[in-house]
Each structure stands twice: as C-alpha cells, then as structure tokens.
Chains A and B, each alone.
Chain A
C-alpha cells in the first residue's frame, strides 16, 4: 500500500507492507538514530515524535502514521544541541546506545514542561531504559542545562 507522511519536515510518499513498523520505515528513509532496544515497548530507544507527541516507533504501524508529521533526532539536531552537551559534560553515558531515545523524550519533555522539577524529569523519562548508567548523570545534565538557562535569563 502507498502512504504519504511528513518525515522531518519533508513530504514522503512510499510503498509499505500492511505490517511495516514505523521504526523500519524511518530507518529505511535514512533515520538511523532510531534503534531497536527491546521491541516489547519497554525501553524507549525507538522514540519518535508523531505530531509532536513522543511515541514508540517499534509499536506503531507505518500505515497508521500516514497523514501525520513524524520527527526523528535527524530532524531535531538544533533543538537537541541546546542540552546534549550538558549531558555529555556529566559523563552521563557509557555505551551511549540509549542516548537517541533519551534525547528525543527530553525534547518532548521540555516542550511540554519547560521548567520541570527533578521528580517531573524522572517521571517523564521513566520509560527510557539505560543498561549502563544509574540515570543520575542524565538527570544532572538536564538539571545543569535548566540552571544555565535560568542563569542566562537572570
């Protein structure tokens, strides 16, 4: 079947199978930041934004995404660049495999709640699993970013 959607701002028309998953569709279109971690809807690594809402692309049919705007990290480089350096500065990650999912969901968090508390950050990122770190580094990084933003505003 043929579907039409917008991927990172560009209109795409493509032929997909009825059971093609969105994760495979975006990877077939060059968005390799989107990865399979668990495929059981548990890890958050495959997070993409659909009409601005973070969803698990391992569990959404490409056919259902037809007519919608899909964004991956490839299309959000600038927005992510604001805070990823702070996460790196904390040495938050080891292997880094979980990073794209974390970054995508942090983009969603900061759009929805520009000044979250630590507990709100933890709650929003609870569906992003990291097998190496204890999550504290990522939290410190986001906190440092938010604090720097407040400092800049003062």
Chain B
C-alpha cells in the first residue's frame, strides 16, 4: 500500500523540482505503478497543474508533456501519421482504455521498465527526453542514468523527420506484459532496431553490417533478424525463457523489416 503524508500540486516546475530533492518525496505520474508499491511517502508531488498534458507540434518536432496519458498518444493523428501507426500499436495492448487514460508518458519512461513498450518504440524514433534540471538528453542516455537521479521529466521530443517505422510485440495473453517488443525504423537508409522486454530494458541497435542496405527482401530481412537476435542479450523470467525470446526476436524483426519494405 502507498501511504502518503502530504499531497501538493506545485505551481511551478522549480517548486516541484525543489520538493523532489527530498528522498522521501515522490513525483506522481498516473500512479499506476507507484500504488503497487509498499511504501511510505512524505510528500506526493502532483504535476497536474503545470500544463504538461499537451502534445505540441512545431516545424521540426512533436513536444509531448510528461503528463500526457498513453491513450492520447494512441489517438493522436499526427503521431499516427509520423509513425505509420506504430504509436498506436505500441500502446494499444497495455491493459485497457481506462488504464491508458491514467498511465502517463513521464511515468512510463521514468520507471525505465524492462517490459516497456513505450521505451522500446521511442528508442527507435530517436526521441529526446527533457529533464527540468539536467536539460535535454537523448532517450538512450536518459535510460542509462542512475536510478537515484532526482529530477522532473517535463517533455519528450520526437523529431518530425520522415521515416518508416514498424512496431510489433508478442504477449502470452492479451493485456499482459509483452514477452518481447520490437521497434524498427529507417531514415535516409539508416536503420534503428530497438528490442524491449528481453526482459531487461530495451536496447537500440543499428544495421552495422549493412544487411538491409540493398533493400528489404525475404532473404535480407531474415539475415538482419538473425544478426539482431545474435547481438542482443536475452533473459528468462516466468513469462518466457531466453531461448524462446531469441526465437521470437528473429520472427518479429524479420516481420518488422518486411513491413518497412511494404511502407515503401
């Protein structure tokens, strides 16, 4: 059970940041993960009055506030067009509509959960995370920050440069955590493949050997998938073994590459 001493809605990010420096205080996202913890919190810092619930579009990027719920990402027409539907595909399997109305982008990334669909997709989209104190940093660098980091994630930026994207995940049963998640994107001939739910947090790999350089065919997609599966470290948990995940990885990466081929 989550026990909270005090609830505060800061009026500024500076105030929220100052409050979150205290070890016993906690920032609230959608609270879905937090509330499953047995924990006594001094002050719960609710970011809901700071205007972080908006998806803004500029000439060059989408700027998504940390309090934007997953459901809004799923339904956003601009993000759907930019990602060829991958944004919706990445979140639509997460529990249910009511859940996705509550779960936030900020909470989903801050946790750097091994099973995260969101982290997996955004790694392949070259997203940037904006922290109130530490400033903007590539998502991969953010993911590597020490867990003790005390900051406020304010926004996520996704460049609008056109790219081809595909997202696929495998679940033992619908609405469960994924057994494996795969996001593949291509921009100017450069491929980025993110593999998540390994079950360790997602990693991002490039097509170092240029296996897709001559275009996507059944053969090149298969070779690329074999290469990615050989380079990624997998683990076992109650949902699947490392060996099973490696086999699934080959299938998902091959299918994702073929899907990019079809996007033209």
Interface residues of A (CB under 8 A from B): 1, 17-19, 40-42, 44, 47, 53-56, 58-61, 63-64, 105, 108-109, 123-128
Which residue in B5, B28, B174 is a CB contact (below 8 Å) of A126?
B174
Interface 1/0 per residue, B142-166 and A, CB below 8 Å: 0000000000000000000000000
- Please tell me which stretch of B90-98, B200-208, B224-232 contacts chain A, meaning at least 4 of its Cβ atoms lie within 8 angstroms of it: B90-98
Interface 1/0 per residue, B1-14 and A, CB below 8 Å: 01111110000000
Do B95 and A42 touch across chains, with their CB atoms under 8 A apart?
yes
Which residue in A17, A61, A126 is a CB contact (below 8 Å) of B175?
A126
Do B6 and A59 touch across chains, with their CB atoms under 8 A apart?
no
Which residue in B3, B36, B101 is a CB contact (below 8 Å) of A55?
B101
The 5 A-B pairs with the shortest beta carbon distances in the complex, nearest first, are A127-B96, A19-B4, A18-B7, A18-B4, A63-B7
Please name 11 pairs of A and B residues whose Cβ atoms are closer than 8 Å in the assembled complex, sorted by A. Answer: A18-B6, A40-B36, A41-B99, A47-B98, A53-B101, A54-B101, A56-B98, A59-B30, A61-B31, A64-B46, A126-B96
Do A64 and B48 touch across chains, with their CB atoms under 8 A apart?
yes
Q: Bound complex: CA of A61 vs CA of B45, how far in Å? A: 12
The number of residue pairs between A and B whose CB atoms lie closer than 8 Å in the complex comes to 76
Residues of chain A lying within 8 A (CB to CB) of residue B52: none
Which residue in A1, A40, A44, A54 is a CB contact (below 8 Å) of B7?
A1
Nearest-CB residue, chain A, relative to B92: A123
Interface 1/0 per residue, B197-223 and A, CB below 8 Å: 000000000000000000000000000
Which residue in B4, B5, B96, B174 is a CB contact (below 8 Å) of A44?
B96
Residues of chain B lying within 8 A (CB to CB) of residue A1: 7
Do A54 and B6 touch across chains, with their CB atoms under 8 A apart?
no
Do B2 and A19 touch across chains, with their CB atoms under 8 A apart?
yes
Do B48 and A56 touch across chains, with their CB atoms under 8 A apart?
no
Residues of chain B lying within 8 A (CB to CB) of residue A60: 31, 102
Given A55-B102, A59-B102 in contact, is the A108-B32 Cβ separation under 8 Å?
Answer: no
